[in-house]
Structures are given as structure tokens and as C-alpha cells.
Amino acid sequence: MRALAVITALALIACGGGGSTSGAPGGGGSTGEGGMTSAGGSSVGAGGEPLMNPGALVDDGLIARYFLDEATTGQPSEVIDHTTDPLDLALTWDTTGDPAGYFEDPEGHRGIAFPAITRNDRASIAIDGTKIQTRLAGSATMTYELVADIQAVEPLGSRLCHIGFDTDHTLSLETNSITRLEMSVNHDLGGLGAVSLADLGRAVFHGVVDTREADPQERVRLYVNASRVPNLAPTPPDQNDTLVIDDGRHFVIGNREIGGRTIQGTIYYAAIYDAALTAEQVLFNTTLLLADDDAPN
């Protein structure tokens, strides 16, 4: 299935699908080429042309990748980071109401199912001194990548992928309405898009930051299933602003560390990069993740 998805992605990219390409050449990140690499980390993309390997997600600037496939049911204790320098997350389960837990949908996609908004369930880790803090702090670029089925949201702001302390929004892909997707950057609302989340079903979301862009509306880019969502945010980051990731922050999937900000729905996958993925890279990963968001066998 992944091999077929790669062929589809290549065909779409060749036809210019997946929305407009934006960003400076190279799109940021650790390679400086804006290329793509295999899941095993092999270098590819001579002359900026990506070499697509079947089943291999883009990992240009990849910091951590969580397939959320540790179980088909129940409440495991941790989420595994599938990178060469893993940073696993602890799972915290709310003991009130209907239990959250791992879930496998009819198509075989695994994830964490949240039965209601405003719960305390989460996957998280304190990031002081970790690769997340050291690679993002001072960076002008980053990307959140998420697969989720969002059915209801907390009006005060459900967190999807989140870095923060207490109630703040240091760096957060989030939503406070079932009709909008948001991205907070350095505590400010840098990305805001009109999206009918409940109508999507299982979908792939990207929040891309590249403050090197001259156009303010290009500095935070939101994608849903590889389609660009116009940015309506009133406070995009200033040009060449860098990320401020102070001590005391947590990286959290599905909540904030103090809880109370779950969605109702399922989160299937999450990843974080220090690169600003290009539209082509977003399209390529989206095609793969829509087919299969669990770890390759």
C-alpha cells in the first residue's frame, strides 16, 4: 500500500498538485537543500530533486516521529519515538468518565481515541535539554505533522501538538472551534484557517513555520490533506523571528501538560521537524499517511 501511495504522490507532484509551493529555496531545515531523505536517514535529493523510496516518509529536519501504534486497545505507558535518537513520551490517562485509550479503526489505522473534550489524557515529556528544545530554540523554521479525526473541540483551545508551560501557547497546533485550525508561535496566533474539521474524518494536518519569508502570510502555513488553507491570522511572526523555547516547557500530543484541552476524536500520528517542509514534501507525506499512518512492518 505504501509503494502505491508513493507512485500516486510522484504523479501528483509531477502534475503540480498539492497547492502552491512557497518558501525560500531549500525550505529550511537541517539539509539546507529542501530535499527528502528516507526513513533510514539516507541522503537523497541531488540538485534538489527528491529521491522517493517506497514507504519512506520525508525526514528533512525530522526531530521526532510518533506513529501511536503501540497497541490496538487499552492504555499503554509510553509512546515510542521512531528516530535514531528516540525521545519517548509518557502516557497519562484520565480516570474519570469513559476511558480514553488506544484504538484501531476498521481500516486498521491505530491511534489514541479521546472520548470527550476537556479531559486530562495526554502523551508528554519535559523538554529541558532534549533534542526538541535544542533544535527548535533559535530556529526560524519548523513543522508539525499530525493525523487526526476531530469530532469536537474545547472552546478554550484543544491542543493537537503543543509545546508550552501551564496555560501558555509557546508553539502549538490547536483549535478552539470545530470550524478553524490554529497555530500559535511564540505565544501569538500566527496561523488561523477556516476548516470544517468534523467533516474531514481522518485527515493529515501540517503547521509550517518559516519566518524568513518576506510575505507575512507565508511565515505560517497551514495544510489539510496537503491543501493550503489561507492564513487569516492577524499577528504573523515578524520576519526572521526565531522560536523561543524556554526551560520548563513540555511537548504534548493531544493536550497541554496541565490537562483539560483534549479533542473528542482520535489522534493517529504526530511528528515534529526543525525544517519548514515544502508543499511537495507535505504532499508526499500526506499521500503516504492517508494510506497508512502506522510504522512500516
For 280-293, write each residue's pLDDT tens digit: 999 999 999 999 99
How long a stretch of residues is the chain? 297
Phi, psi for 229 (deg, rounded to 5): -105, 120
> Quick one: pLDDT band at residue 221, thresholds 50, 70, 90?
very high
For 161-190, write each residue's pLDDT tens digit: 999 998 989 999 999 999 999 999 999 999
Sequence spans of domains, the chain: 61-276
For 39-78, write each residue's pLDDT tens digit: 333 333 333 444 444 468 999 999 999 999 999 999 999 9
Dump strand ranges (E) for the chain. Answer: 62-66, 78-79, 89-92, 101-104, 110-114, 122-126, 141-152, 158-164, 171-177, 180-185, 188-194, 203-210, 220-224, 227-229, 250-253, 264-273
What percentage of the chain has pLDDT greater than the value 70?
Answer: 81
Dump strand ranges (E) for 141-226. Answer: 141-152, 158-164, 171-177, 180-185, 188-194, 203-210, 220-224
Q: Distance of CA 256 to CAs 26, 76, 120, 157, 209, Å?
A: 32, 19, 8, 10, 20
Residues 6+ apart with CB under 8 A from 271: 57, 62, 63, 64, 65, 66, 143, 144, 145, 146
Give residue 55's pLDDT. Answer: 62
In CATH terms, the fold of domain 61-276 is Jelly Rolls (2.60.120)
| The C-alpha cell that represents 28 in the structure block | 529550511
Instruction: Select from 156, 166, 185, 141 the least CA-distant residue to 249.
Output: 166
